[in-house]
Amino acid sequence: MSKLHITRRTALKGFGAAAGTLAMPSILRAADQVKIGFIAPLTGSEAILGIVQLQCYQLAIDHLNAAGGIGGREIISLTEDDETNAKSTIDKTRKLVADDNVDLVLGTLASFERTAALSVTSRAKKLFIYPTYYEGGDCSPLLVNTGQVPNQQIDPLAEYLTANVGKSVYVIGHDYIWPRGSTEQLKAGLEARGGSLAGAEFVPFGMTDFGPSFAKIKAANPDIVSFMLVADDAITAVKQYHSFGMKQPLVFHAWDEVSLGAVTPAEQAGILSSQGYFQQIDSPANNAFTKAFAEKFGADKPINYIGVSVYQTAMLYAKAVEKAGSVEPEKVVAAISQVEVDGPIGVMRVEAGNNHAVLPNYLAKVNDSAKLEILQKNEPKPPVTSCSL
Amino acid sequence: MPVKGFAVYFELVLNIATTVSVLMLIALGLAIVFGLMNILNMAHGELVTVGAFTVSLVQVNGGSFWLGVVAAMAVGAALGVLLERGLIRFLYDRPMGVILVTWGVSLIIQQGLLLSFGPSPQIVYTPVEGSIEFFDSAYPRYRLVLIVAAFLTVAVTGLIMARTRFGLDLRTVIQNREVAEILGIDTRRVFMIAFAGSSALAALAGALVAPMTKIVPTMGAEYLAPSFFVVIVGGAGSLAGTVAGSTLIGGLRTVLDYQVPSTLSQALVLIAAVLVVRLRPRGLVPA
């Protein structure tokens, strides 16, 4: 019954589109618009991060529209909520690709969302740009990754830890691909410098007590503890780590400006983070960005790397479309490695061989008043991915 | 070396006690409404959430943690009265209706909190900072407070049920409502107070776990399944059953967490629970 209804509606839409196409010359219509489908976790357990992604995306669209669109084309923007789960990500990506016929799918946050979205876009031959740091290893002809991969984010961390903090690291992570993949990379980075992985435990989502995990850490007696947890459980873990008075320094490379408001200053003091951007960066481009962000959303709203990367990625896409003179996925992908864009993150450019970005890294530490202070900057490095095109 | 070994076991016992305490606190209210009154309250988890949010709100406005705990119980009780008088009293004969209605209420509370507080987690400052050192190992002071509070709460609830006039009335109503009414007991009042009491217990549980967990609108939902679990395994209808169920589930979970990955230990605990229900269909300590 409902199936019939949808079919009829889709058919009507088809007629409508056909009539529209007949009404105006197709070349004009195609040259007129860029349709961007933005998808992020706006509800569910990753919503606090997804909302910053959305804000930064909106700011990018504002700035591009103020400059007259992309290469003279009007931007049509569609936003979808992937609800922090794989099924909704697939459903919403299908909607963007099949119903809305977008030129670009931009977004997603967790790796399971990326995998879900890619399964739809790659079959539909649509361009998909993933702007978040991840464990690496995903190459696909029409996929562009503009976030950090482990050699850019985790390797500098391993280098810093072995030189300044200690040699052995114990990891507690969630049981899925991002923590497992990142742990492998951390292990390699430590071992290359005479360090070691003292142990790793991967826990299911919805943990309420980390007491037994901490007992295992005490037994392993590492120099450093590293969390690779996401969403709400990360908060539980940080709170309990503090309450147990654990002596090992805590590394949590995903702890960012958004996390700072989630626990008390005492509970997070000393956490080491490692990302491609921190709000504190003092550069003309970042100062202009943070000012514009504060004007639109309020000075008290946090900005993090996950969000800023969406902003700068949208800018990079715009340049690629201008360069290609087309919104056709193949042409845009070919052009995207020939352009670069300076922004809050610094100069961002994509390498042609694997469609991953060249990016810098920053190490920061949470101080006693719950602020991230940058300790060290690593200059931009080319991505090392275990895949190629 | 033997001292070190002793410290490990001591910590294991404390970790078990913590898990058991949290389970017990959250299942206690459920044991009363589900076990005794036979009401499947799907919003029980959200009452836990409300308790945690109340503490946070009290602290933000300058109040102390313990004032927050008292306020949480008051808010929980008030919500309980509202729920019972407004919805549940019309549905005592329609168990399916109760499930649907309380599930709806749980969604309304979750989304209501999300709309009014936003998706960012709330902050609660622990009333007792730091950890106690014993044999070269440290244990959080607050967890000891939690363990004591949980056992006190169970003891007080048990005393009310066994020794007070209200407890007697409630037990009478549960055994035979018609006879209770003939004897002159106001059954509607008894059910209302029992429901309010169980809601206050849920909110108290939320307030007490707040310093050691995330405080987000969905937090309570994670506790709903384990607490039903505890009540069914322990034996619906008896407080001793709740204690037994919490001890079995919590103890097993913690001991297994030490030995195998958490993902596996969760599955093993579920299998154990299925076995218990198969071999003792009415639970460990039947009413």
Question: How much is the pLDDT for A31?
Answer: 60
The whole-angstrom distance between A255's CA and the closest CA on chain B is 14
Q: Closest to B22 (Cβ–Cβ): which among A47, A208, A262?
A: A208
Which token pair is B264? 């596996």
The neighbour count for residue B179, using CB atoms within 10 Å, is 11
The helix/strand/coil state of B198 is helix
Question: How much is the pLDDT for B156?
Answer: 95
Contact A240 B266 (CB under 8 A): no
Alpha carbon B164 to its chain's center: 22
Instruction: Residue B49: list chain A partners with CB under 8 A.
Output: none
Instruction: Residue B125: list chain A partners with CB under 8 A.
Output: 264
Which token pair is A199? 């142990």
Instruction: Please indicate, yes or no, if residue B230 is contained in any of the structural domains.
Output: no
The whole-angstrom distance between A183's CA and the closest CA on chain B is 16
Contact B262 A213 (CB under 8 A): yes
Compute the average pLDDT of residues B226-235.
90
Which token pair is A181? 């993949």
Instruction: Please indicate, yes or no, if residue B285 is contained in any of the structural domains.
Output: no
Measure the CA–CA gap between B216 and B228, rounded to whole angstroms. 21
Q: Do the bridges between strand A74-81 and strand A104-107 make them parallel or antiparallel, or are there none, so unpaired?
A: unpaired
Question: What is the ipTM for the molecules in this complex?
Answer: 0.87
Q: Which helix (H) or strand (E) holds B249?
A: helix B239-259
SS (H, E, C) chain A: CHHHHHHHHHHHHHHHHHHHHHHCCHHHHHHHEEEEEEEECCCCCCHHHHHHHHHHHHHHHHHHHHCCCECCEEEEEEEEECCCCHHHHHHHHHHHHHHCCCCEEEECCCHHHHHHHHHHHHHHCCEEEECCCCCCCCCCCCEEECCCCHHHHHHHHHHHHHHHHCCEEEEEEECCHHHHHHHHHHHHHHHCCCCEEEEEEEECCCCCCCHHHHHHHHHHCCCEEEEECCHHHHHHHHHHHHHCCCCCCEECCCCCCCHHHCCCHHHHCCCEEEECCCCCCCCHHHHHHHHHHHHHHCCCCCCCHHHHHHHHHHHHHHHHHHHHCCCCHHHHHHHHCCCEEEECCEEEEECCCCCEEEEEEEEEEECCCCCEEEEEEEEEECCCCCCCC
Over residues B50-71, the pLDDT tens digits come to 999 999 999 999 999 999 999 9
Q: Closest to A215 (Cβ–Cβ): which among B12, B212, B214?
A: B12
Instruction: Please indicate, yes or no, if residue B240 is contained in any of the structural domains.
Output: no
Instruction: Please indicate, yes or no, if residue B247 is contained in any of the structural domains.
Output: no
Q: Closest to A203 (Cβ–Cβ): which among B125, B214, B262?
A: B262
Q: Choose between A7 and B271: higher pLDDT.
A: B271
How far from each other are the two terminal CA atoms of chain A, in whole angstroms? Answer: 44
Compute the average pLDDT of residues A258-282.
95
Instruction: Please indicate, yes or no, if residue B286 is contained in any of the structural domains.
Output: no
Question: How much is the pLDDT for B4?
Answer: 59
Q: Which helix (H) or strand (E) holds B133?
A: strand B131-134
Q: Closest to B258 (Cβ–Cβ): which among A48, A208, A215?
A: A215
Over residues A212-225, the pLDDT tens digits come to 999 999 999 999 99
Contact B120 A243 (CB under 8 A): no
Question: How much is the pLDDT for B177?
Answer: 83
Contact B214 A236 (CB under 8 A): yes
Over residues A18-71, the pLDDT tens digits come to 444 444 444 444 568 999 999 999 988 888 899 999 999 999 999 999 999 998
- Residues A225-241, buried b or exposed e (16+ Cβ, 10 A)? bbbbbbbbbbbbbbbbb
Over residues B130-162, the pLDDT tens digits come to 888 877 778 999 999 999 999 999 999 999 999
The percent helix, strand, coil of chain B (3-state, each to 5) is 75, 5, 20
Residue B111, beta-bridge partner list: none
Nearest CA-CA partner of B156 in B122, B192, B201, B188: B201
Over residues A321-364, the pLDDT tens digits come to 999 999 999 999 999 999 999 999 999 999 998 999 999 999 99
Q: Cα A252–A38–A61 angle (5° rounding)? A: 100
Q: Closest to A212 (Cβ–Cβ): which among B138, B212, B257?
A: B257
The whole-angstrom distance between A234's CA and the closest CA on chain B is 8
Over residues B85-128, the pLDDT tens digits come to 999 999 988 889 999 999 999 999 999 999 999 888 999 999 99
Q: What are phi and psi of B123, to 5 degrees?
A: -110, 140
Measure the CA–CA gap between B86 and A291, rounded to whole angstroms. 50
Measure the CA–CA gap between B28 and A156, rounded to whole angstroms. 50
Instruction: Residue B227: list chain A partners with CB under 8 A.
Output: none
The whole-angstrom distance between B98's CA and the closest CA on chain A is 26
Instruction: Residue A206: list chain B partners with CB under 8 A.
Output: 222
Q: Cα A304–A308–A312 angle (5° rounding)? A: 165
Measure the CA–CA gap between A336 and A323, rounded to whole angstroms. 8
Instruction: Please indicate, yes or no, if residue B110 is contained in any of the structural domains.
Output: yes
Contact B263 A47 (CB under 8 A): no
Measure the CA–CA gap between A345 and A296, rounded to whole angstroms. 20
Contact A215 B22 (CB under 8 A): no
Instruction: Residue B131: list chain A partners with CB under 8 A.
Output: 243-245
Contact A215 B11 (CB under 8 A): yes
Domain that holds residue B39: 2-219
Residue type, A115: T
Q: What is chain A's mean pLDDT, rounded? A: 91
Q: How confident is the model at residue A173 (pLDDT cuts 50, 70, 90)?
A: very high
Q: What is the DSSP letter of B121?
A: P
Contact B258 A233 (CB under 8 A): no
The helix/strand/coil state of B171 is helix
Number of domains in chain B: 1
The whole-angstrom distance between A322's CA and the closest CA on chain B is 37
Percent of residues, chain A, with pLDDT higher than 70? 92
Over residues A222-261, the pLDDT tens digits come to 999 999 998 889 999 999 999 998 999 999 999 999 999 9
Which of A24-38, A98-112, A147-161, B129-143 shows the lowest per-residue confidence on average (mean pLDDT)? A24-38
Instruction: Please indicate, yes or no, if residue B274 is contained in any of the structural domains.
Output: no
**Chain B interface, Cβ < 8 Å to A:** 8, 11-12, 14-15, 18-19, 22, 119-121, 123, 125-126, 129-131, 137-140, 142-143, 209, 211-214, 216, 218-219, 222-223, 254, 257-258, 261-263, 266
Which token pair is B204? 């108290």
Nearest CA-CA partner of B8 in B131, B132, B130, B134: B134
User: Cβ-count burial of A262 within 10 angstroms (0-12 exposed, 13-18 middle, 19+ buried)?
Assistant: buried
The whole-angstrom distance between A230's CA and the closest CA on chain B is 12
Instruction: Please indicate, yes or no, if residue B261 is contained in any of the structural domains.
Output: no
Compute the average pLDDT of residues A188-212.
94
Which of A205-214, A328-337, B199-208 shows the lowest per-residue confidence on average (mean pLDDT)? A205-214
Q: Cα A50–A54–A57 angle (5° rounding)? A: 135
Compute the average pLDDT of residues B1-24.
82
pTM of the model: 0.86
Measure the CA–CA gap between A213 and A175, rounded to whole angstroms. 14
Question: How much is the pLDDT for A30?
Answer: 52
Compute the average pLDDT of residues B255-267.
89
Instruction: Residue A264: list chain B partners with CB under 8 A.
Output: 123, 125
Q: What is chain B's mean pLDDT, rounded? A: 91
In this predicted structure, the answer to whether residue B48 has a pLDDT above a threshold of 60 is: yes
Instruction: Residue B216: list chain A partners with CB under 8 A.
Output: 232
- Residues B115-152, buried b or exposed e (16+ Cβ, 10 A)? eebebbbbbbbbbbbebeeeeebbbbbbbbbbbebbbe
The neighbour count for residue A94, using CB atoms within 10 Å, is 16
Q: Best residue in B212, B223, B224, B256 to probe A by mutation, most A CBs within 10 Å?
A: B212
Contact B143 A219 (CB under 8 A): no
